[in-house]
Amino acid sequence: MTAPAGRGGAGGAEGRYAAVVLPVPVNRSYIYEVPDALAERVVPGARVVVPLRRRSIIGIVTAAVSQLPSAVDNIKRISAAPDDQPALSPALLELGRWLSDYYGAPLGLALRAILPGPLWSVARPAGPAPGAERLLVLTRNGMDSLLERERRFKRAPQRRAVYETVEALGGSAPVSHLVKQLRLSRNSLEGLVRQGLARIEHVPEMRDPFAGMSSPPPPTLTEDQRNVVAGIESTPVSMPVLLNGVTGSGKTLVYLEILRGVVASGRGAILLVPEIALTPQTVARVRGVFGDHVAVLHSGLSDGERADAWRALRRGERRVAVGPRSAVFAPVQRLGAIVVDEEHEPSYKQGSVPRYHARDAAAVRAQLEGARLILGSATPSLETLDQAAQGRVSTFALPDRVGARPLPPVEIIDLRSAPRVEAAATIPWSEALDSAVAGALERQEQVILLLNRRGFATFVQCPACGNVPGCPQCAIALTVHQTPPALRCHYCGHEEPIPATCVVCGHLTQRLRGLGTQQLEHFLGERFGRARIARMDLDTTTSKWAHHHILERVASGAVDILLGTQMIAKGLDFPNVTVVGVVDADTGLHFPDFRAGERTFQLVAQVAGRAGRGPHGGRVFVQTRAPDHHAIRAAAAHSVAQFAAAELPLRSPPNPPYPPHTGLVRFVVSGTDHAWTADLAERVAAWLRRASSARLDGLLTVLGPAPCPLMRLKGKWRWHVLTKAVEPRVLGRVVRAWRAKSHRAVMVDRDPVSLL
Ligand code: ADP
Ligand code: ZN
């Protein structure tokens, strides 16, 4: 069973053997014998259960093999073929081959990304778990005094940590969350219960909040929207479409109208959204139009529910799939269209092998199945704008908001000189933003504040020697958190107590530097005592439906100020938001990444677009120390064209070329020993340089090796080598050549979205 397989004939019945790809990082298929009884089911794309060493695992048949390579013996037999139709359609199997070849990933890992997890399990996946969730509830929230607390937890620091964590989470928290996500000890939880400080409650598990959710029938299209729909529908299906519509122009309605036509013609569709928890409104609108035809594929589904949704699509019982990037592989039948909403979002890039970009995979799939591809955004990526400029994508614009509402005016506030509110002390809080917020609260309107940095302060610094405590495993400063109090590493989760004195020089006071969302929340609470404030960042959204709860409260008017990280900049549509403030626009501007400007532009323009969606209009305030930066200026003008005009020259000669002017592949080498890592990176770079001159006509540019900006991460050293080539086929040959060599310490990332 160990021979590499060639491609055989198309049908299973004619060959007694089949080539099977297993979900393992090995770049070849395995040959198995096909028992007569299974011959009809063993066709390309079918799932089969096969023995591998002493286990049974699921594999995918890629071809029938009628002639065995001579040197093979000991061929094992396929033990089962569980499905009555192949799990992967020919198009999805072909898409898997494309993923494998384009990203240089083993075919097995590419196919593993296409089929959802439960379908790789030999045991039948469990059905939806009806069980109850266990909640740890504090019996008295807030003990009387610090002294009492010290006394009670004297010999139980772990118990205290649990106590204070639950306290910070509002007095109760799911046990599974505390144990699994926050890695608190079960013993300490039980200790608290024994001590009488907490009890366990059983609450019925919350039902899927998307189930049954829908919104009223959509409004009739505006004339602009109708023209765009007509324009798109008369564009040849093979021509991808960019819908470049300003924030609030009603792009969702255009998608829905087109999808309606697709479904009416008997075909199916996929709508990709960046993060489903952040887009409940979009999901509701889709449900409103397509009702039970829709399968919503979100991370909250149990294995059983996920498998059910997959089967319902595969059988054609549901025709429309909505979900994040992996929904690009949804087994929708007779696919007629794929819509990629907010196509510029980096979350469309998968962080593990095969490291695909869902937008690009969508383009390939659409082509394979003769489906229409629609990319939508108010701030399209430069890659997509470049495709449009070359005539490979057809652009439709919605330059105005629905209902003749103007885009909100944006005021850029220069933090170096603008008058600040004195009470704010360490917080960058201008008088202009302050009075706008106060005014909105006065009029009972809502405010959104963006600060793209979680935690309380960015770091602790000793005022005497300048020491900044860093993570022992990652070369970055530890972030100060208050709830619960700790220094925490945002990359690996390492935690340690906040030092009272300097560990280096012993100085007795330590200073908190830099602003995080927790501190901003604290400040706002003091400044606007009566305002109801909600914070949305990774720390407040660890539990399953937390995003949903927060956004629901904003929608119902139970929140006056919503503050948060980039999570609050996506797609939200709250008509009562009249003031949007970007508290510090510069948090990402100086990252050592060629997309730092683009990300800042998108973030600021998108959050600005949350303002003024209702009858009361809106205003936006952008606080920055770089008021003349083209990213900030273009965002203030809501103009992606202005941004592209300034940014594109920076990425082309005589400057070092970057995408979209060249393709990029990043090789990241990581290891626990620094010298070994640097040495391997050196050898990777040497191999690439040899390949370029020997086989690629020198068309490949090799940069490095160099330490990654994040040189140490989770205890590993990291070095990278960047390669560039204008011609995609050159990069394709490089990643495939490397796939054949494949080294576990080297990660290959084609079209990386981050260079950190
Ligand atoms: P975008 O995604 O382009 O930012 P949305 O799709 O969220 O915009 O639409 C913005 C708002 O305008 C939503 O509240 C939506 O219901 C409303 N809207 C869109 N199209 C129409 C229309 N034709 N008539 C009335 N309201 C509309
Ligand atoms: Zn760390």
Model confidence over 413-444: pLDDT tens digits? 999 999 999 888 788 999 999 999 999 999 99
Q: Is the pLDDT of residue 33 over 70?
A: yes
- List all residues 6 or more positions away from 124 whose beta carbon is below 8 Å from its beta carbon: none
Question: Mean pLDDT throughout 99-111?
Answer: 96
Q: At 193, which amino acid appears?
A: V
Residue bearing the bigger pLDDT, 277 or 393: 393
What does the pLDDT read at residue 608? 95
**Residue 266 region by backbone torsions, left for phi larger than 0, else alpha for psi between -120 and 50, else beta:** left
Among 463, 499, 494, which Cα is nearest to 476's?
Answer: 494
Q: At 293, which amino acid appears?
A: H
- In angstroms, what is the span from residue 254 Cα to ligand 1's centroid? 9
Least confident of 179-183, 483-487, 751-755: 179-183
Question: Mean pLDDT throughout 229-251?
Answer: 96
CB 347 within 8 A of CB 317: no
- Atom 17 of ligand 1, residue of closest alpha carbon: 250
Pocket perturbation via mutation, ligand 1, pick of 339, 402, 638 by most ligand atoms within 8 A of CB = 402
Question: Mean pLDDT throughout 348-373?
Answer: 97
Q: What is the distance between the alpha carbons of residues 33 and 660, in angstroms, rounded to a whole number?
A: 47
Among 398, 305, 379, which Cα is nearest to 608's?
Answer: 379
What does the pLDDT read at residue 5? 47
- Give the confidence band of 170 by pLDDT, cuts at 50, 70, 90: low
- In angstroms, what is the span from residue 672 Cα to ligand 2's centroid? 14
- List all residues 6 or more positions away from 726 whose beta carbon is below 8 Å from its beta carbon: 657, 661, 662, 663, 699
Q: What is the distance between the alpha carbons of residues 327 and 339, in angstroms, rounded to a whole number?
A: 11
What does the pLDDT read at residue 591? 77
- In angstroms, what is the span from residue 494 Cα to ligand 2's centroid? 5
What does the pLDDT read at residue 541? 80
- In angstroms, what is the span from residue 104 Cα to ligand 1's centroid? 41
Dihedral angle over CA of 520, 523, 525, 531, nearest 10: -70
Q: What is the distance between the alpha carbons of residues 534 and 396, in angstroms, rounded to a whole number?
A: 37
Q: Which residues line ligand 1 (CB under 6 A)?
A: 219, 221-222, 225, 245, 247-253, 402, 573, 613
What does the pLDDT read at residue 143? 53
- In angstroms, what is the span from residue 722 Cα to ligand 2's centroid? 24
Q: Is the pLDDT of residue 10 over 50?
A: no
Residue bearing the bigger pLDDT, 62 or 67: 62
Question: Mean pLDDT throughout 117-129?
Answer: 67
- Atom 5 of ligand 1, residue of closest alpha carbon: 250
- List all residues 6 or more positions away from 440 whose beta carbon is below 8 Å from its beta carbon: 446, 447, 578, 579
- Atom 9 of ligand 1, residue of closest alpha carbon: 250
What does the pLDDT read at residue 472? 82
What does the pLDDT read at residue 144? 56
- Give the confidence band of 305 by pLDDT, cuts at 50, 70, 90: confident
Q: What is the distance between the alpha carbons of residues 751 and 718, in angstroms, rounded to a whole number?
A: 19
Place of tokens 């009890």: 199
- Give the confidence band of 12 by pLDDT, cuts at 50, 70, 90: very low
Q: Is the pLDDT of residue 363 over 80?
A: yes
- For the CA of 245, the closest atom of ligand 1 is 3
Q: Is the pLDDT of residue 42 over 50?
A: yes
Question: Mean pLDDT throughout 66-74?
Answer: 74
CA 371 → CA 147, 271, 334, 567, distances in Å?
Answer: 68, 13, 9, 31
pTM of the entire structure? Answer: 0.84
Among 392, 321, 391, 329, which Cα is nearest to 358's?
Answer: 329
Residue bearing the bigger pLDDT, 106 or 693: 106
Q: At 742, which amino acid appears?
A: S
Least confident of 114-128, 180-194, 414-428, 683-697: 114-128
* Average pLDDT value over all residues in the chain: 88
- In angstroms, what is the span from residue 454 Cα to ligand 2's centroid? 15
Model confidence over 541-562: pLDDT tens digits? 877 678 888 888 999 999 999 9
Q: For the chain, give the longest Cα–Cα distance.
A: 84
| DSSP code for 484 | T
Q: Tell me which ligand sits closest to the C-alpha of residue 493.
A: 2
Using H for helix, E for strand and C for coil, what is the string for 96-134?
A: HHHHHHHHCCCHHHHHHHHCCHHHHCCCCCCCCCCCEEE
Q: Is the pLDDT of residue 713 over 90?
A: no
Beta strand pairing status for 561-564 and 446-450? parallel
Q: Is the pLDDT of residue 11 over 50?
A: no
Q: Record the tokens describing residue 40, joined without a space.
A: 């009809």
Percent of the chain with pLDDT over 90: 58
- In angstroms, what is the span from residue 222 Cα to ligand 1's centroid? 10
Q: Is the pLDDT of residue 167 over 80?
A: no
Least confident of 15-24, 200-209, 212-221, 426-435: 200-209
- In angstroms, what is the span from residue 573 Cα to ligand 1's centroid? 8
- Atom 15 of ligand 1, residue of closest alpha carbon: 250
- In angstroms, what is the span from residue 632 Cα to ligand 1's centroid? 26
Beta strand pairing status for 459-461 and 746-750? unpaired
What does the pLDDT read at residue 372? 98
- For the CA of 249, the closest atom of ligand 1 is 3
- For the CA of 218, the closest atom of ligand 1 is 16
Least confident of 482-496, 636-650, 688-702: 482-496
Question: Which residues partner with 470 through β-bridges?
Answer: 477
C-alpha neighbours within 13 Å on the C-beta side of residue 400:
9
Asked whether the CA dihedral 692, 693, 697, 701 is positive or negative, the reply is positive
Pocket perturbation via mutation, ligand 1, pick of 253, 576, 577, 638 by most ligand atoms within 8 A of CB = 253
Model confidence over 559-592: pLDDT tens digits? 999 999 998 888 788 999 999 999 999 988 887 7
- Atom 19 of ligand 1, residue of closest alpha carbon: 250
Among 30, 31, 22, which Cα is nearest to 111's?
Answer: 22
- In angstroms, what is the span from residue 712 Cα to ligand 2's centroid? 8
Q: Is the pLDDT of residue 8 over 80?
A: no
Q: Is the pLDDT of residue 13 over 50?
A: no
**Residue 169 region by backbone torsions, left for phi larger than 0, else alpha for psi between -120 and 50, else beta:** alpha
- Give the confidence band of 111 by pLDDT, cuts at 50, 70, 90: very high
Q: Tell me which ligand sits closest to the C-alpha of residue 252.
A: 1
Q: What is the distance between the alpha carbons of residues 290 and 258, in angstroms, rounded to a whole number?
A: 12
Question: Which residues partner with 495 through β-bridges?
Answer: 488
- Atom 16 of ligand 1, residue of closest alpha carbon: 250
Question: Mean pLDDT throughout 524-537?
Answer: 93
Q: Tell me which ligand sits closest to the C-alpha of residue 572.
A: 1
Where do runs of H (alpha helix) occur along 412-502? 431-442
Pocket perturbation via mutation, ligand 1, pick of 573, 580, 610 by most ligand atoms within 8 A of CB = 573
Q: Record the tokens describing residue 372, joined without a space.
A: 């229409």
Question: Mean pLDDT throughout 261-283?
Answer: 89
Q: What is the distance between the alpha carbons of residues 160 and 184, in angstroms, rounded to a whole number?
A: 11
Q: Tell me which ligand sits closest to the C-alpha of residue 716.
A: 2
Q: Is the pLDDT of residue 457 over 60?
A: yes
Question: Mean pLDDT throughout 226-231?
Answer: 98
Question: Mean pLDDT throughout 749-755?
Answer: 93
Question: Mean pLDDT throughout 659-667?
Answer: 95
Least confident of 26-40, 153-167, 230-244, 282-296: 153-167
Q: What is the distance between the alpha carbons of residues 193 and 176, in angstroms, rounded to a whole number?
A: 16
Least confident of 20-34, 110-124, 479-493, 716-730: 479-493
What does the pLDDT read at residue 486? 86
